[in-house]
Structure 1
Amino acid sequence: MQQFTIEPKTTCKFCWQSDPEDHVCQIVRNCSTTSVGRRSFYKNVRCNWTNGYSWWKAMFLSVTLGGFGVDRFYLGLWKSAIGKLFSFGGLGIWTIVDIILIGVGYVGPADNSAYI
């Protein structure tokens, strides 16, 4: 059997782990790295990669008030929250599916930030 070795060409880091000379900034809120590779890592000055959405709060809201779309309103997904509200959680089916999706982390905040 052959064994394959994968060697990374760039190192993925959070913005607080990278050196200041690795970044080129034009505007205070829009910074990105200049590394070799296909990725660009965006950096805020305060390195705010989470906006305060809590996974356990989203899960609690999904279990208790998920039939009214409160979990989706909390995460900022207001369009689907309105649909969930007026369909009473898809008569319970959408609520159960959302509990699973939030539980595994598939549904997250609308601004693509990480949970705290």
Structure 2
Amino acid sequence: MNNVNIIILIFIQIFNLINSQCNLNGLISCNQVPVECLDCSLTINCIYGEQLSSLCRMLNGSCINNNNKIVSSFQRMYICRYCYQTPLDELACTSNIACRHYQNSNHYKSNCTIADNTQLCLGSRTFYRNIECNWTSGHKKLNTLLISIFFGGLGFDRFYLGHIKEALGKIFSFGGLGIWTLIDSVLIACGYLTPDDGSVYME
């Protein structure tokens, strides 16, 4: 009996939490109603990427539809895909500035959610995703290229990027008589020669 009471209490708390989140101030457009304030019937029997329409019912209150009528249920368009299949630029993910490219993996596990709180998708809206580690330590590609062109013979470009051994080699070989300098300039321009600490160039 105690277990039943606990379950009922949990459901009541969840219901109250949803209602408190969905007490919208005044009437808003139905297109702006957050997903957590809606009960939508989504179908999983669809083709990935297909544009579909779902009947959504507001959990609390009403909204204004496209015909300027006050309604409590309306149609909302969505794309047939699970939330974790949403493109990265449409997600809000936790960042990790401690990751490094030269570690065992150049990806880190991030906690992501759908950035647009009105966008419908299948499954859980919060999930983990492996994101490429693209931290920067302040090196700019253009600066590196200019240093390589004008001072590459003295190894300044390699010093700037943190490649100390190669920089000393360039100094003592006079930049490979210009050949090494030319090669480094091409490698920097193509993006193959990057900072030694594993960071990426600043935009």
Which TM-score band applies after superposition, normalised by the shorter structure? 0.5 to 0.7
Cα distance change of structure 1 residues 12 and 87 upon mapping to structure 2, 3 Å threshold? farther
Measured in 2, the distance between the counterparts of 1:29 and 1:114 equals 14
**Is the 8 Å Cα contact of residues 68 and 88 (structure 1) preserved in structure 2?**
yes
Q: Does 1:90 align with 2:176?
A: yes
- C-alpha deviation, 1:41, in angstroms: 3.9
Q: Deviations over 1:25-84 (max 9, x none)?
A: 9xx946x41647xxx5477xxxx8111001111001000000010000000111101101
1:108 to 174, 194, 198: 194
Partner residue, 1:33: 109
- C-alpha deviation, 1:115, in angstroms: 0.7
TM-score of the superposed pair, with normalisation by structure 1: 0.65
**Is the 8 Å Cα contact of residues 33 and 42 (structure 1) preserved in structure 2?**
no
Measured in 2, the distance between the counterparts of 1:29 and 1:104 equals 26
Considering only CA atoms, is the larger Rg found in Structure 1 or Structure 2?
Answer: 2
- Give the counterpart letter for 2:196 in structure 1: A
Measured in 2, the distance between the counterparts of 1:51 and 1:12 equals 26
Measured in 2, the distance between the counterparts of 1:111 and 1:13 equals 25
Structure 2: runs of 5 or more not aligned: 1-83, 100-107, 111-127
Give 4+ residue runs of structure 1 displaced > 2 Å after superposition. Answer: 9-14, 40-43
1:71 to 147, 157, 176: 157
Higher strand share: 2
Alpha-carbon RMSD across the aligned residues, in angstroms, is: 3.3
Structure 1: runs of 5 or more not aligned: 1-8
TM-score of the superposed pair, with normalisation by structure 2: 0.39
1:60 to 131, 143, 146: 146
Q: Does 1:49 align with 2:125?
A: no
Cα distance change of structure 1 residues 29 and 112 upon mapping to structure 2, 3 Å threshold? closer
Secondary structure class of the residue paired with 2:137: coil
Partner residue, 2:167: 81
The alignment-based identity, stated in percent, is: 41
Secondary structure class of the residue paired with 1:115: strand
Measured in 2, the distance between the counterparts of 1:97 and 1:10 equals 41
Higher helix share: 1
- C-alpha deviation, 1:13, in angstroms: 4.3
